Amino acid sequence: MERRPGPERGVRVAAPPRGDAVRDGRDGQGVERTAGGGGPIPAAAPLLRLQRAAGNAAVGTLLAVYAAHGTAAPRTLQRQKKQTGVLVHPKSKLTAAQLAKMVTTNASAPDWVKKGLGSSGSSLIKKGPLQGPTDVILDVSQSLRDAVTSGSWEITTGTSTLTVSLTKPLKHGPSTRPQWSRGRDKPMYDYLEWRQVVTPDLEPGEHLVRSLGKVGPDTTMTTPVAIHSEDPEVMYGDTELADTTSQIAQAPKGQNRGLVVLVTEIDVVAPDGTSKTFAPTKDQLVESLLHELSAHAGQDTERRPSEHGRGDVNDIAQEIADWFPASSTTGDIYDFIQHGADAALAEVADLPR
């Protein structure tokens, strides 16, 4: 997922695999978070503290749940027998038909993808074989088919807010930050902090939550989940596994679906306080959709590793990235941030430049 403005492409850029949320990286090495952009499930220690403080049975039950699942997010695979297709959320800014059209009219997507994907009602469906060429090193089509036909996924759009500011108090950031500026990286850029939050388009009052297990006959304990990043990167998509899905999506049908979020708007605030809204290109949107479905959702459906850096995720991401021209969106965003950073940092004395 390192995505630099120049020659690389990817859905997003990032750091080392965190294993908790899905993102997209352009060079296929990025960090993906699959179980919830929101970070790992709280470790048992805070719960123990809570238990000591509260001393109630509910916490004991919760701890038992942890013991059963370990510290990793429980990944539930729920194959729906009857309905297949990727359900498009009612609040998605792109309907199933619009998403399908975006793919089928895209000049860069392979024919087998364009002929294989369609829509029916409020779902993205498999309308053709959705079978890729077999004379390739890695056939991504099985993973895409599994994501689309499992009935285990829902999709919605989302808005990302990316704020880059001077660290306060001014301090040197992590030295492992990938270079993001366009060939003009400066040491003083280490004094910036990045914060990015993706807000999925959901029903009013509907939030991403991760289930921590039942604590009573009718009570499930949950914790809020935020899709976020503090790395120098641009997030174009995210895949939340079924254990981190929306309340409403979970409740009515009694079936958990994982949620794929496709970023359609990026509000950027640069270090000098200037702001600008960016929209991913059509190519970027289609790539992100196929990336999330194939590299993450489908792999999870197959009960295979679905985080960047594990299993086939990076190879699938790279294969898909290779179908598309380099997106200009990330470069444009980085240029805007760099302009604001130069202005803000010029006011600060005694920085390495």
Element (H, E) at 166: strand 153-166
Report, in Å, the least distance between residue 25 CB and Zn ion. Answer: 6
Based on CB atoms, which residue is closest to Zn ion, 36 or 340? 36
Report, in Å, the least distance between residue 172 CB and Zn ion. Answer: 29
Based on CB atoms, which residue is closest to Zn ion, 307 or 342? 307
3-state DSSP call for residue 104? helix
For 202-230, b where at least 16 C-beta lie within 10 A, e where not — what string?
beeebebbbbbbebeeeeebbeebebbbe
Based on CB atoms, which residue is closest to Zn ion, 192 or 235? 235
Report, in Å, the least distance between residue 117 CB and Zn ion. Answer: 19
Based on CB atoms, which residue is closest to Zn ion, 4 or 119? 4
How do beta strands 192-200 and 153-166 pair? antiparallel
Based on CB atoms, which residue is closest to Zn ion, 127 or 310? 310
The CA distance from 93 to 85, in Å, is 18
Based on CB atoms, which residue is closest to Zn ion, 269 or 289? 289
- The residues near 126 (Cβ < 8 Å, ≥ 6 apart) are 84, 85, 116, 117, 118, 145, 148, 149
**Residue that has been written with the tokens 């695999």 in this structure:** 17
How many other C-beta atoms lie within 10 A of the C-beta of residue 314? 21
Report, in Å, the least distance between residue 11 CB and Zn ion. Answer: 6
The CA distance from 321 to 4, in Å, is 13
3-state DSSP call for residue 27? coil
Report, in Å, the least distance between residue 317 CB and Zn ion. Answer: 6
The values of phi and psi at residue 119, to 5°, are -135, 155
Based on CB atoms, which residue is closest to Zn ion, 213 or 309? 309
- The residues near 195 (Cβ < 8 Å, ≥ 6 apart) are 162, 163, 164, 165, 228, 229, 230
Report, in Å, the least distance between residue 292 CB and Zn ion. Answer: 7
Based on CB atoms, which residue is closest to Zn ion, 2 or 342? 2
Binding site for Zn ion (CB under 5 A): 24, 32
**Residue that has been written with the tokens 């270079």 in this structure:** 179
Report, in Å, the least distance between residue 23 CB and Zn ion. Answer: 5
Report, in Å, the least distance between residue 97 CB and Zn ion. Answer: 25
